[in-house]
Chain A
Amino acid sequence: MKRKYLLLLLIIVFFSCKQNTKVENNELNLGTENEEFEEQINDVYYLIPSPYEIAEYLNENHDKINSSVLNSVTNIKKYQFRTSQALNLGVYSADLSYLALSGDYSNANEYFEVIGNLCNELQIPVIEDDLLKRINNNLKNADSLQSISNELYFNIVGFLNNNQNDKLFALIASGFFIESLYISISIEDKFSEDNKILQRIYEQNFILSSLLTILSKYSEYKDINIIYQNLESLNIEFKKINYSKTKKTYISVNDTIMIKGEREISLTDENYKSIKNQIQNSRNNFINLN
């Protein structure tokens, strides 16, 4: 009899500990509803560069950033809901990337802290003790700052990928995308037709289209739709820019594929002002979202 009870107990323990192949996730509180997690069909992926890569491309000369341009760390008090937390986790990630790029370690510590706090709020367990020690010990070394900020980003993305949380990733990515453009357009404030930085800002429309594709899957959620509409408004401005369509050619030379081509962009002052306004509006909407 005792053996039968023991066997029954083992069976009960087995089923109660059974691992799920899909992870039950604490979903975003979008508006007033909790949405049930849906299993993702991961056959098509839209991959975008990291915040540091975007910063590096837009700020090629590693110009020093005026820290007043960045989203103030005190704004973290505003972010009470998961949507604003995720968006501004992205915003602060972009800020940290620009600080890392320009070697501004003095402000970096504060940004690591707010990123860590937002990760905790979103239940993204990515800052382990080892990483925390390295943050505290290495903030006077530009290369380490870059390496640590990248590692933090990869930890966040890895966690989200493993939990198939494309929604949360899309919000974070929207945050760092807009913030990167905002900082860049703040550095390069004057319009000129042959301004290379403005041309590079235009080239971000590729990433924008990927982001819009990811966001469109969730646009039935009110808060996601607001973000989508903000980015779509920017997309509309990008589409107004005239550019020459040059045929790309692909040549193989010594086992390297060379993608050759030229694209001439005719950017007008009007284009520039519209894009700048839209970037500023979107950014202000994101950092002031509760």
Chain B
Amino acid sequence: MKNIIKISLLLLILQSFNYLYSQDCSDYYTKCKQPSKIFEKSGMSRGFKISQGDSSEINLNLYANRTYYISITGDEILGNIQLILLSAEGDIIYDNSVDEFKQFIVMTTEIATQLKLQIISQPEVYENQSKTKYCAGVYVAYTSNK
């Protein structure tokens, strides 16, 4: 009987790990630092999954005469989240690694444009060698400049 209880507990623990790895990250962007209430949440806000040390690229479509607020966050195990903002042509506009990994930026646009965000996990310690994916999020909000 004791062995059955031990095995049952072990199975439950293994199940819980399995649940973690298949977790829903779609709303993870809600954990990002929120802007002031003058901003409206954009449809470009998104949660996604990323492994330690990996990078993701996010292509944004921005309208003219807007102020955009963009913030990022990730599971603690991902470490610092580096955010590099690039023009559509690939020029680096901003890199938060020189700004103490600041987790949000504010931009104003005079013209409609496309931009790229590179999101890079910079952990201090790699927990394991597997490519387990963890939750991260990008929150995009906007307000009109008129």
Contacts and interface: CB of A to CB of B under 8 A. Distances in A.
A161 B26 contact: yes
B97 interface: no
A42 B56 contact: yes
B107 interface: yes
B81 interface: no
A17 B15 contact: yes
Interface string B84-111: 0101000101100000000001111111
Contact of A259 (B22, B59, B108): B108
Contact of A18 (B1, B18, B107, B113): B18
A3 interface: yes
A153 B46 CA distance: 13
A123 interface: no
Given A19-B22, A21-B21, A47-B59, A257 B105 contact: yes
Interface stretch (B37-45, B72-80, B121-129): B37-45
Contacts of A248: 87, 111, 113
Contact of A258 (B14, B19, B107): B107
Nearest to A146: B40
A93 to B, nearest CB: 10
Contacts of A158: 26-27, 47
Given A18-B18, A45-B46, A161-B26, A263 B87 contact: no
Interface stretch (A29-37, A112-120, A202-210): A202-210
B41 A250 contact: no
A231 interface: no
B26 A19 contact: no
Interface stretch (A6-14, A103-111, A127-135, A271-279): A6-14
Nearest to A6: B4
A55 to B, nearest CB: 11
A199 to B, nearest CB: 9
Contacts, number: 141
A18 B110 CA distance: 52
Contacts of A19: 15, 18-19, 22
B22 A206 contact: no
Contact of A157 (B43, B108, B109): B43
A29 B64 CA distance: 39
Interface in A41-77: 42-53, 57
Contact of A49 (B22, B63, B108): B63
Contacts of A20: 22
Contacts of A136: none
Contact of A47 (B41, B44, B111, B112): B44
Nearest to B18: A19
A173 to B, nearest CB: 9
A48 B140 CA distance: 11
Contact of A256 (B3, B27, B108, B140): B108
Contacts of B58: 44-45, 47
A162 interface: yes
Given A256-B108, A259-B110, A161 B47 contact: yes
18 contacts: A10-B7, A10-B8, A19-B19, A43-B55, A44-B59, A45-B57, A47-B44, A49-B44, A50-B42, A157-B46, A161-B26, A161-B47, A161-B48, A210-B61, A256-B67, A257-B93, A258-B108, A262-B111
Closest 3 CB pairs of A and B: A50-B43, A47-B44, A203-B112
Given A45-B59, A246-B111, 6 more contacts: A14-B15, A49-B43, A53-B42, A158-B26, A161-B26, A250-B87
